[in-house]
Amino acid sequence: MIKVRVQSLGLDQNTKSPVVILQEEEGERVLPIWIGPAEASAIAMELAGMKFARPLTHDLFAILLRGLGGTLTRVLITRVQDNTYFAELVVQRGDDVFTIDARPSDSIAIALRARADLYAGDELLTATSFEIAAVDPDAPELEGGPAPGMSAEELKEHLRRLNPEDLGRFNP
């Protein structure tokens, strides 16, 4: 497993879906994960340091976990199956360590609140990521999104050439 961090949060202009981008801490590879708007909002609010008078769902989970004597030690993005990513919350309570199956988006939102480390499988970063590259200002803009039936290498190249503005900014 490779330690990652939330590099950015954006909005895919083609699907209008939020995307969280995880980047390995000791490298340039990234892992984009398309997520729901509620989870994107929860992640964005925590990244922006926004606090509310009453706890929201992910805040409540972190508070409840602490109240029961547990600590979220790390989140593992473990695999992808049928375009669905899987994650595990690793919780320690006393001498006991256990894992809880969870969606990556919820896991990331909770990990940010609990100040827990995030990890992704190396094969996920290799198989589904792209290298961050400087955008050539003289290159023509991409028209439309990836074409249906693109090979993995063609999709990787398409994503590599994307300008961050092509994804937009997610505003909660």
Q: Which residue has the tokens 């290159």?
A: 139
Residue 145 pLDDT exceeds 60: no
Is the model more confident about 138 or about 107?
A: 107
What mean pLDDT comes out for the span 62-70? 96
Residue 138: its pLDDT value, please?
Answer: 39
Residue 78: its pLDDT value, please?
Answer: 96
In this structure, what token pair is assigned to residue 51?
């606090």
| 71/51 Cα distance (integer angstroms) | 21
Residue 135: its pLDDT value, please?
Answer: 29
Residue 106 pLDDT exceeds 60: yes
Residue 52: its pLDDT value, please?
Answer: 84
Could you read off the pLDDT of 3-24 as tens digits, one per residue?
999 998 988 878 888 999 999 9
Phi and psi angles of residue 37, each rounded to the nearest 5 degrees, phi first: -65, -35
pTM, whole model, 2 decimals?
0.73
What is the identity of the amino acid at 24?
E
Work out the pLDDT band at 132, boundaries 50, 70, 90. Answer: very low
Q: Is the distance from CB of 11 to CB of 17 less than 8 angstroms?
A: yes
**Cα-atom radius of gyration of the chain, to the nearest Å?**
17
The yes or no reply on domain 2-167 and CATH 3.40.50.720 is no
What does pLDDT average to over the chain? 80
The ranges assigned to domains in the chain are 2-167
Residue 136 pLDDT exceeds 60: no
Q: Of 62, 56, 61, 23, which is closest to residue 42 (Cα–Cα)? A: 56
Residue 10: its pLDDT value, please?
Answer: 86
Residue 160 pLDDT exceeds 60: no
Residue 153: its pLDDT value, please?
Answer: 55
What mean pLDDT comes out for the span 36-55? 90
DSSP E strand boundaries for 94-156: 96-102, 117-120
In this structure, what token pair is assigned to residue 119?
């990890």
> CB-side exposure of 70: number of CA atoms within 13 Å?
20
Residue 34: its pLDDT value, please?
Answer: 92
